[in-house]
Copies of this chain bind each other. A is one copy, B any other.
Amino acid sequence: MATEQTADLEGYDELETRIERITNVGNAAGVLRWDQEVIMPEGGTPARAKQLSTLSSLSHELLTEDRTGELLETLEGDEVSLSGDQKAVVREVRRQYDRATSVPQELVEEISETTSNAHPTWMEAREKDDFSIFEPTLEKLVELKKEYAAHIDPDEDPYAVLFAEYEPYLDLETAESVLEELRDELVPLLEAIDESDADIETDAFAGTFDDDDQEALARDVLDSLGYDWERGRLDTAPHPFSSGTQFDARVTTRFDESDLLGSITSTIHEFGHANYTLGLPDEGYGTPLGEARDLTVHESQSRLWENHIGRSRPFWEHFLPIARERFPELENVTAEEAYQSANQVYDDNLIRVEADELTYHLHIVVRFEIERDLIAGDLDVADVPEAWNDKYEEYLGVRPETDAEGCLQDIHWSHGSFGYFPTYSLGSVLAAQLYAAAEAELGDLEERTRAGEFEDLNDWLREVIHAHGKRYTTPELVEHSTGEPYMAEYFIDYVTTKYGELYDLEAY
């Protein structure tokens, strides 16, 4: 029996070593992609594509080797007694292994090639405002991804299989009911806001703001929130993102002279992502225990900091004096005016990435409903523009006049990513639930924010979320951190209270 156990642990160690190598290859690819997005000279593209392709295929080969499957089978056997953490590692590797081995290599390559070519095609279609240019490609991607889903699980709704690539543990029914709830609550809330006579400040950040000073202020923001510069950097990228590991998680942002608020909120958002990564346990590096729990939880971290902190009244009471040091022209702006400007609702906005905190989710609902119907075969690709425009009219009260401003605005489908969009809203919903739990646990978060003290909140997030990596599934992690199942109620409360007060809404 003792011998048996030793053998099992050896098997576990071997699996861990394999997974560490795969993780290292993946993280190396992450550095290469960061470099490409942020600092690589343009001419480097052809070689970089080849380097990334080699790393990706090596990683796939290491994962799908027969030995990985053998080790998993042994470790899943009844006679093996693993610790809870070891079981979690086996569960996560099994998931990756099953997905990777169930899809034929030719299909993986066909999808990879199709998405490579899809990007320029989508760009061209958007530039020329002509959906018909992108239509055949989108058609092909829908077919390929359905085929892909069928290989992974022929008995499951293919959209649910695709959604699970981005959020493996919240099932699609949960996602669907949360999105329906958002739609049902936000549509009337936005109508009430539209009819409100409240005179809220919208121009606190009007003006032209020097890029270098904006960068200095972005560093102030990161300092203020407690970003660990020993393990991070701030750079600029056309499409801000954050990436890295618990040892080196970098933030990017962008500066537009006419949009000071945009660079501040984008920096805070990416801080939330990087801060989660930095909170993952050092000792878990290389295994799922040292990796973030997928997109819903990741987005909950960025949204919590961006919205619950960065768009709050006490934050602006704290931060406005700091901003005035860089931009004396803000001298006559009050914290209340800054707060109102950071939370104005645009009732005629067509573009997701420019949306406010409320309408954002209706943009997501539109995309979710369309891609779900596309994958189910209930909507033809040719009919996407009309369906898109109809839904915008119905939910947001505005109708796009062009496809460039409509169904061609997002890059995601050209990547073959169907099922990604919902995680943006699911993350926001979780952010509200987490913030409420933190408030219940710590008390008076507003007072701390007003004083610029974010350590308690951050320590709490580290303890209940970051430190666990992928130890728990998403529902388990929500239960562990908040004591309750995942639910939309806290988000609905948050937005109705906040916007009811801001827009002086009687019914809220």
Footprint of B on A, CB under 8 Å?
20-21, 24-25, 27-29, 31-32, 35, 39-48, 50-51, 53-55, 57-58, 228-233, 244-248, 250, 282, 285-286
On whether the beta carbons of B51 and A28 are closer than 8 Å, the reply is yes
5 closest A-B pairs by CB: A44-B248, A43-B231, A24-B54, A47-B247, A43-B230
Contact of A230 among B42, B53, B57, B229 (CB under 8 A): B42
Contact B41 A24 (CB under 8 A): no
Instruction: Name A32's contact: one of B31, B43, B46 (CB within 8 Å).
Output: B31
17 A-B pairs within 8 Å (CB atoms) are namely: A20-B50, A25-B58, A28-B32, A31-B51, A35-B35, A41-B229, A41-B232, A41-B248, A41-B250, A43-B232, A46-B247, A46-B282, A47-B246, A47-B248, A48-B248, A50-B285, A50-B286
Quick one: which of B25, B244, B246, B248 contacts A54, CB cutoff 8 A? Answer: B25
List residues of chain B with CB within 8 A of the CB of A230.
Answer: 41-43
**A54 and B285 contact, Cβ closer than 8 Å, known pairs A229-B41, A247-B45:** no
Asked whether A51 and B35 contact (CB < 8 A) given A40-B248, A43-B230, A44-B247, the answer is no
Complex Cα distance A250/B231, Å? 24
**Separation of A48 and B53 alpha carbons in the complex (Å):** 20
- A55 engages B24 (CB within 8 Å): yes
Given A50-B20, A58-B58, A285-B47, check contact A39 B248 (CB 8 Å).
Answer: no
Copies of this chain held together in the complex: 2
What is the bound-complex CA distance between A16 and B250, given in angstroms? 36
Chain A interface, DSSP helix/strand/loop, else mixed: helix
* Complex CA–CA separation, A186 to B40 (angstroms): 43
Cβ-defined contact, B43 with A247, below 8 A? yes
Taking CB atoms, residues of chain B closer than 8 Å to A285 are 46-47, 50
A55 touches B25 (CB 8 A): yes
Tell me the nearest residue of chain B to A235, going by C-beta.
B39
- A46 CA to B25 CA, complexed, in Å: 15
- Among the listed B39, B244, B246, which residue makes an inter-chain contact with A233, where contact means beta carbons less than 8 Å apart? B39
Q: How far is the CA of A232 from the CA of B42 in the complex (A)?
A: 9
A29: B residues at CB distance < 8 A? 28
Q: Which residues of B contact A229 (CB under 8 A)?
A: 41
Quote the shortest CB–CB distance from A37 to chain B (angstroms).
Answer: 13
Residues of B within 8 A of A21 (CB): 54, 57-58
Instruction: Report the Cα distance A245→B47, complex, angstroms.
Output: 8
Do A233 and B50 have beta carbons less than 8 Å apart? no
Residues from chain B with Cβ under 8 Å of A233 in the complex: 39, 41
Q: Measured between alpha carbons, how far is A55 from B43 in the docked complex, in Å? A: 24
Chain B residue at smallest Cβ distance from A35: B31
Measured in the bound complex, the distance between the Cα atoms of B51 and A245 in whole Å is 11
Task: Judge whether A41 and B286 touch: CB under 8 Å.
Answer: no
Contacting residues, chain B, for A40 (C-beta < 8 A)? 248
Shortest distance between the CB of A473 and any CB in chain B (Å): 26
Besides A31-B32, A47-B246, A50-B285, 12 more A-B contacts (Cβ < 8 Å) are A24-B51, A24-B53, A25-B55, A28-B51, A28-B55, A31-B35, A39-B233, A40-B248, A41-B230, A41-B233, A44-B244, A46-B282
Q: Contacts A20-B50, A24-B50, A58-B58: A43 and B286 contacting too (C-beta < 8 A)?
A: no
Instruction: Give the distance in Å from the alpha carbon of A244 to the alpha carbon of B245 in the complex.
Output: 24
With A230-B41, A248-B40 as contacts: A47 and B27 at CB distance below 8 Å: yes
CB-based nearest B residue for A231: B43
What is the chain B residue whose CB lies nearest that of A246?
B47
B residues less than 8 Å from A35 (CB atoms): 31, 35
> Which of A27, A29, A53, A232 has most B Cβ within 10 Å?
A27
A308 to chain B, nearest CB (A): 27
> In the complex, which of the residues B24, B44, B51, B54 contacts A231, with contact meaning CB atoms closer than 8 Å?
B44
The smallest C-beta distance from A402 to any residue of chain B, in angstroms, reads 34
- Distance (whole angstroms) from the CB of A292 to the closest CB of chain B: 15
CB contacts (< 8 Å) of A24 on chain B: these are 50-51, 53-55
B43 contacts A228, CB within 8 Å? Answer: yes
